[in-house]
Structure 1
Amino acid sequence: MKHLKKDVVRLAATYLTIIMVMSVGFSIVFIRRHFMSLIVVRAQRLLCPKEMEI
């Protein structure tokens, strides 16, 4: 019974670690994508401000 409990705890810890790593990776990708789109918009506004006004 104790052995089973230890395995369950280890499995839960592994799942939690995987979820944490994936969520951190997703947030990094999302922030980077958002940041890049902001930079692109700024660059477009600087390069062709007349087109942005229309």
Structure 2
Amino acid sequence: RIRDGFRDNKAVSDSQTIENQIKYANDNLQIIKRQALIGDLYKTDKLVIEK
């Protein structure tokens, strides 16, 4: 998905569009960081097959 996004937008030269894409990417990065943090806070025990 990320590679596809880069391929789709590699020819973009409009500075406003680039700024919008960077803002969108930073917003998504913050969401992913929050999700990872929440996942670390509420870890579950490993299943028997994972041990």
The answer to whether TM tops 0.5 is yes
* Count of residues in Structure 1 that have an aligned counterpart in Structure 2: 32
Cα RMSD of the aligned pairs, angstroms, is 1.1
TM-score (norm: length of structure 2) = 0.58
Q: 5+ residue gaps in structure 1? A: 35-54
Shift of 1:23: 0.3
Identity of aligned residues (%): 12
Q: Distance in 2 between matches of 1:18 and 1:29?
A: 17
Scaled by the length of structure 1, the TM-score of the pair is 0.55
Bigger Cα Rg: 1
- Name which of 21, 28, 39 aligns with 2:34: 21
- Aligned residue identity for 1:2: S
The list of structure 1 runs, each at least 4 consecutive aligned residues, that deviate by more than 3 angstroms after superposition, is none
**CA distance in structure 1 between the aligned counterparts of 2:17 and 2:33, rounded to whole angstroms:** 24
RCO higher in structure (CA 8 A, sep ≥6): 1
SS of 1:25's equivalent?
helix
